[in-house]
Chains A and B, each alone.
Chain A
Amino acid sequence: MADDLKYGYKGAEPTQSFGNNTGVFDPNDINNLIANNQWTTFGQLELIETKDITVMTANIDFTDIKENIYNVHFITANDVTSNTTGRHMVKQFSTDGGSTFVSSGYQYAQQYGTGAGSFGETKSTSASFLGYWTASISPLSNQTAQAYSYFYNLGDSTKYSFTTFQSSAWYSTGPNYQMIFGSAVYPSANVVNAIRLKSDSTSSFTGQFSLYGIRYS
């Protein structure tokens, strides 16, 4: 729409913002308002990036997590396989955009339970990763892991960064089913701007990994 008739108004145009769009909009207006984060769109679980890892990969890094936009992030992991026997997938944070990843000082507390009736707790105040995100899996038929994790405060330089998580997997020991749920903290007031998914030891993985942001949280 011509600038002299912006949003259908002559002269002073209405201020546009989420939840308060006023006027008549053509496609270019809408695209521009979306780009400026001023257009009301529902569906506030917003996909940031999906990594479909089909070749065994040791480090699956999300380095454009848009921590300046989202206070809460959400990651899903689906159909995860390992090329080494008995490996968990774990998470680490980076504060330098993914050049390096923090490998000490995490705290976590998590519960596990198996289909064979074994339940227990795993915890640490000096870990090199943010807890065991999945059960240990092996390169055997049907041994896959599925998981999700929420992240909080990653972009806030004044607060610690936190995560909660849950997973469901076919466990390498037994073998049988294993579930895990838990929480973890990176007790350092820093901006976290990249997330690494990797093994607790040497291994590589395939799977589908999606990072979302929960807007306006």
Chain B
Amino acid sequence: MGKLVQVATNTVSSPTASVTLTGIDSDDVYMVTIVGASPSSGSDEIRIRVTKDVAGTPTPQTTANYDWADKFLRASAAFINDYNTNQTSTRGTGNIDNALNGGNGIFYLYNFNNSSEYSFITIESVTYGFSEGRGYQGGTVYTVAEAHNGVYFFPSTGNIDSGTFTLYKVV
């Protein structure tokens, strides 16, 4: 089993519109943990964009090039094949009811540093929303062959009120 090296971390203690983790500068696999992420709006999800260095600034990429395929696991209803193509962001977690619960997950990042390949993410997240446990397991891709230096997390509306977001390199 390899080792994890922390690259960046951000603990949200006051409402913020987004969290950016950067520092991807090698061809290693990277991993992100999210623990206790709570949006300000009662039923939001946490969404993801990749970031690119633009004149020294990590810039979330918003072009309609995100595809995903996830199994949406629900404790009290039939599961859903959740998928889409050519979106401007991708889904990281299911809905999160309130600050008591939080969104949590493990995300592995592949090919981010490779300017000639698409960037891929595997998703394994769990939340409590709309009075049920909810999970997302699957993956997503940003179909632009360019180097990306990090990831950008944001709620579908409003702010992120709390949570710890950490980027590791798997070595």
Contact = CB atoms under 8 A, between A and B. Distances in A.
B41 interface: no
Interface stretch (A30-38, A85-93, A168-176, A181-189): A181-189
A153 B133 contact: no
B108 to A, nearest CB: 12
A162 B4 contact: no
B137 A42 contact: no
B74 interface: yes
A153 B171 contact: no
A108 B133 CA distance: 6
Interface in B126-146: 126-128, 132-135, 137
A71 interface: yes
Nearest to A181: B137
Given A164-B124, A184-B133, A109 B75 contact: yes
Contacts of A217: 9, 33, 35, 164, 166
B34 to A, nearest CB: 8
Nearest to A109: B73
A183 B1 contact: no
Interface in A78-117: 107-111
Contacts of B54: none
B4 A214 contact: yes
Interface stretch (B56-64, B98-106, B147-155): B98-106
Interface in B101-119: 101-102, 104-106
B71 A111 contact: yes
Contacts of A43: 3-5
Residue picked from A110, A162, A181, most chain B C-beta under 10 Å = A162
A186 to B, nearest CB: 9
B84 to A, nearest CB: 19
B51 interface: no
Interface string B45-72: 0000000000000000000000000010
Nearest to B94: A183
Interface residues of B, number: 37
- State the main secondary structure of chain B at its contact with A: strand
Contact of B171 (A42, A158, A159): A42
Interface residues of A, number: 37
Interface in A111-142: 111, 121, 123-125
Given A125-B132, A164-B105, A111 B4 contact: no
B36 interface: yes
Contact of A45 (B3, B35, B76, B126): B3
B50 to A, nearest CB: 21
B35 A152 contact: yes
Contacts of B33: 71-72, 214, 217
Contacts of B78: 121
19 contacts: A42-B171, A43-B4, A110-B73, A111-B79, A121-B73, A123-B73, A125-B132, A152-B102, A153-B102, A159-B101, A162-B104, A164-B126, A181-B137, A183-B73, A183-B124, A185-B75, A185-B101, A214-B168, A216-B9
Given A108-B133, A185-B75, A216-B9, 7 more contacts: A42-B3, A42-B5, A42-B6, A45-B2, A71-B164, A152-B105, A164-B135
| CB-CB nearest 3 A-B residue pairs | A183-B135, A152-B104, A109-B73
